[in-house]
Structure 1
Amino acid sequence: MFGKRANAGFGGQAAGSRVAAAAAVAEPPKAQQATSAPVQTERRSETYFQTKSLIFGALIEAIDLAALSKLDPESAREEIRDIVHEIVTIKNLVLSIAEQEDLLDDICNDVLGFGPLEPLLARDDIADIMVNGPTRCFIEVGGKIQLTNVRFRDNAQLMNICQRIVSQVGRRVDEASPICDARLLDGSRVNVIAPPLAIDGAALAIRKFRRDKLTLDQLVRLGAISPPGAEILKVIGRVRCNVLISGGTGSGKTTLLNCLTNYIDVDERIITCEDAAELQLQQPHVVRLETRPPNLEGVGQITMRDLVRNCLRMRPERIIVGEVRGPEAFDLLQEMNTGHDGSMGTLHANSPREALSRIESMITMGGYALPMKTIREMITSSVDVIIQAARLRDGSRRITQVTEVIGMEGDVAITQDLFVYEILGEDAQGKLKGRHRSTGIGRPRFWDRARIYGEEARLAAALDISEVAEGQ
């Protein structure tokens, strides 16, 4: 099955000489400076990495990678394990059983998976993985960024893994195209910046998705929103309000967008437009669209605006844009105004008022020569609700405002808050304490819409509760 292995006669003396010679010429990596920062992975000695480098070099010489690629993952791992065991025996390497198992797992990950990233990708408690060159890797756990002991042999290995990731979705990253947005097969978002733009080696950022999709009820248990606030969000998703989710990087915008889509009827036709497909809609009638970068000749690019414009020809009932960041904002607003109620999108902004200003800027930067009042009237007549998500200084994520867009008074857009989050202080461990409270404004603008869908009783019950404490 494996040409190189069979020709070498792994069980005989010739095989031993070949593997030993291959291992002997493998250069061990230079010692790298240890760090005293907190780590999340088991600390390993420099000897471990040198031994791994020796065995890995011998393995690559001995194995037929073309034949290996034809095997299923489990059979391929068993084949690699057998060869590594023989290399360890031939080299007379002294390793404990635990060290051998760790080394086998590491090498299998290098050959078949994403190398040192595999243990991090397997952990569901990690929200972000940030690789700053081959020797420094950070993770975010519980809202806090921590340094790990994960490292790569060199920048070549790191770039190889980056190429392996982006090639799965038909993209590339190299010196000619050094910036790439991609995704893992589970939907996790990936961004790569390669040298020469990244001076200290390739920079890789992975926004991991949970295996179990979060719901609004789970967000209530996590303290991100109060029970009455969650009821209002359920009604908003159900009654086809046009929604923008605003927030900073890592504030949970996409997670919240996924939660809201749970309340879309199963018989509605939904079209999603994303730079890297990461939304996890459960409805049966979903069309997922993804942008495309230009090819090597610099042609063939499909932008977000191209996708949003094309949606009108596909008979959508709801249009969901993963992130609004450019002139596609104008097309999305037009579609919200032409019978596609219930459309949703996210954008980066620090408050609902700032979100409205950002949409204005996106439209004007797109080259539309419209009076500012006309643009604002278009925004206020299209957007019903802005939901503000925030990541607080203690690392927790909260929905801080649920704001309704009322309309215009003169040249000014008018909004009103339905729910807000108030910070009351912090506990002895530095965790912020706060509460979500209703502003008591009475019936919102979308009350009649809720009545059409039979949701006015649930909406009234949520708005009649004046305060709900959420001490965290």
Structure 2
Amino acid sequence: MSFPQTTSTTRGLTSIAERVRERLRTEEVDPSRDPERASYIARAEVRRHNDFALARGVDVIEDEAASVRDILSTVSGYGPLQALLDDPDVEEIWINAPDKVYIARDGRSERAPIVLSDTAVRDLVERMLHATGRRVDLSQPFVDASLPDGSRLHVVIPDITRRHWAVNIRKFLTRFRTLDDLVAAGSVGSAEAAILRAAIRDGTSVIVSGATHAGKTTLLGALIAAAPSHHRIVTVEETFELTAQAPDLVALQGRQPSLEGTGEVSLRRLVKEALRMRPDRLVVGEVRDAEALDLVLALNTGVPGAATIHANSATDALRKLGSLPLLAGRNIDRDFLLPAIAASVGLVVHCRRDADGRRAVAEIVAPTGRVVDGVIETRPVFGGESA
């Protein structure tokens, strides 16, 4: 634990945390539902410790308020990581080893002054997974899950990793919920924001492309927020990541198979189910596999869509969108796919992250509806070059 006191005091705090945890369990107090009662119990146990310490002539806990906060983080939050999760400037946290904890701020990484143990890392992961219904073990060494605050948890365990558990917690910062927020941050220009607002208002299908951590999901969420209030939005994701706000929105996420290998819900299934829910716009959090076919088919039924895709440029995103459906294994070829994509996708917005961590829209292109020599023809709307 990250208590800034002597070793004996730290041991005392560990003991207090165990007593607080036991009282919460015995008195059936849920810290998330009754934080005042949980805080009262923690203060009472700290004062009890100090009374005992004074009588025995041992170290007392001087900063009672800070100790109560740390104890509550230990028993009801995520221990030493809680302060990082609460920090609005921290974008992501990852653990390579118990003594190698890193964070990202403003797109740049730095090492955090936190040292854990293997047991502490496992306990933290188990606490995070407790309310998600997901698990990680030797039979399933990977897990993706959404934390209560919307952050995305990804865990890999040995023997897939060499020795230690590898943990990533990707936070979704609430300060960039709208296009206006992104304009204020310098990620999107005013003119480009106006183009994107008009596209969403008019029912144009938009693909957001870029590399990892380029800001694709954040931009997609802002586009959803720009939809007219009467539009019904249905989002589908493998794991909840979008924190978009809209008056009429339903969010769906996939499900991993059970121990018996049953119960899986794939993105392909979710896209098909979403179309039965009367969407004015279908949103796919990330297209990376055969669900691209279902998205393209949905767009060609007249349902406006939006999605993200990993790509090196806007035109590369269109090429990839024309190839991924082939993974579905059906009797489909590019002669069908490319014209369908050219006719249904209205804009492709490409995001980039500079070496200094700054994220911005690099280019916006619009397919012309034509396929020339096996390539979807585009015209530049902002930045880039036509293809």
Q: Partners of 1:312 and 1:297 in 2: how far apart?
A: 29
Pick the aligned partner of 2:362 from 400, 408, 418: 400
Is the Cα contact below 8 Å between 1:360 and 1:376 reproduced in 2?
A: yes
CA 1:60–1:193 in 2, change beyond 3 Å: closer, same or farther? same
Q: Could you report, residue by residue, the CA deviation over 1:364-409 in whole angstroms, capped at 9, with x for unpaired residues?
A: 2221332322221222122111100111111100100111111212
**In the alignment, residue 60 of structure 1 is paired with which amino acid?**
E
TM-score, scaled relative to structure 1: 0.75
**In the alignment, residue 147 of structure 1 is paired with which amino acid?**
R
Q: Could you report, residue by residue, the CA deviation over 1:186-219 in whole angstroms, capped at 9, with x for unpaired residues?
A: 2122212223323342222111122344322222
Q: Partners of 2:350 and 2:134 in 1: how far apart?
A: 33
Pick the aligned partner of 2:18 from 43, 56, 60: 60
User: Could you tell me which residue of structure 2 aligns to residue 116 of structure 1?
Assistant: 80
User: Could you tell me which residue of structure 2 aligns to residue 292 of structure 1?
Assistant: 255
User: Could you tell me which residue of structure 2 aligns to residue 375 of structure 1?
Assistant: 337
Q: Partners of 1:52 and 1:69 in 2: how far apart?
A: 26
CA 1:59–1:235 in 2, change beyond 3 Å: closer, same or farther? closer
Q: How does 1:405-416 map to 2 (within 5 A)?
A: 405-406=367-368, 407-416=370-379
Asked whether 1:386 is paired with 2:348, we answer yes
Q: Partners of 2:333 and 2:363 in 1: how far apart?
A: 29
Compute the displacement of 1:96 (Å): 6.4
Task: Provide the secondary structure at the position in 1 that maps to 2:174.
Answer: coil
Task: Provide the secondary structure at the position in 1 that maps to 2:83.
Answer: helix
Is the Cα contact below 8 Å between 1:405 and 1:416 reproduced in 2?
A: yes
Q: How does 1:70-219 map to 2 (within 5 A)?
A: 70-71=29-30, 72-91=34-53, 92-94=57-59, 97-98=62-63, 100-152=64-116, 154-219=117-182
Is the Cα contact below 8 Å between 1:55 and 1:88 reproduced in 2?
A: no
Q: Partners of 1:48 and 1:214 in 2: how far apart?
A: 43
Compute the displacement of 1:254 (Å): 1.0
What are the ranges of 5 or more consecutive residues in structure 1 without an aligned counterpart? 1-28, 30-42, 422-438, 442-472
Q: Partners of 1:359 and 1:48 in 2: how far apart?
A: 58
Asked whether 1:245 is paired with 2:245, we answer no
**In the alignment, residue 180 of structure 2 is paired with which amino acid?**
D
Q: Report how many residues are paired.
A: 378
CA 1:318–1:101 in 2, change beyond 3 Å: closer, same or farther? same
Q: CA RMSD in A?
A: 2.3
Q: Partners of 1:110 and 1:267 in 2: how far apart?
A: 44
CA 1:155–1:69 in 2, change beyond 3 Å: closer, same or farther? farther
Q: Partners of 2:300 and 2:244 in 1: how far apart?
A: 24
**In the alignment, residue 18 of structure 2 is paired with which amino acid?**
I
Q: Partners of 1:394 and 1:68 in 2: how far apart?
A: 50
Q: Partners of 1:49 and 1:194 in 2: how far apart?
A: 31
Compute the displacement of 1:270 (Å): 1.5
**In the alignment, residue 102 of structure 2 is paired with which amino acid?**
F
Pick the aligned partner of 2:265 from 302, 310, 331: 302
Is the Cα contact below 8 Å between 2:150 and 2:172 reproduced in 1?
A: yes
User: Could you tell me which residue of structure 2 aligns to residue 454 of structure 1?
Assistant: none
Pick the aligned partner of 1:340 from 276, 279, 303: 303
**In the alignment, residue 85 of structure 2 is paired with which amino acid?**
L
Is the Cα contact below 8 Å between 1:130 and 1:203 reproduced in 2?
A: yes
Q: How does 1:308-457 map to 2 (within 5 A)?
A: 308-341=271-304, 343-406=305-368, 407-420=370-383
Identity percentage over the alignment?
Answer: 32
CA 1:401–1:290 in 2, change beyond 3 Å: closer, same or farther? same
Compute the displacement of 1:416 (Å): 1.7
Q: Partners of 1:175 and 1:110 in 2: how far apart?
A: 27
User: Could you tell me which residue of structure 2 aligns to residue 436 of structure 1?
Assistant: none
Compute the displacement of 1:225 (Å): 2.1
Task: Provide the secondary structure at the position in 1 that maps to 2:194.
Answer: helix
Q: Partners of 1:181 and 1:53 in 2: how far apart?
A: 34
Task: Provide the secondary structure at the position in 1 that maps to 2:169.
Answer: strand
**In the alignment, residue 266 of structure 2 is paired with which amino acid?**
T
Which moved further from structure 2: 320-329 or 184-193?
184-193
**In the alignment, residue 110 of structure 2 is paired with which amino acid?**
Q
**In the alignment, residue 325 of structure 1 is paired with which amino acid?**
R
Bigger radius of gyration, 1 or 2?
1
**In the alignment, residue 112 of structure 1 is paired with which amino acid?**
S
Compute the displacement of 1:260 (Å): 1.0
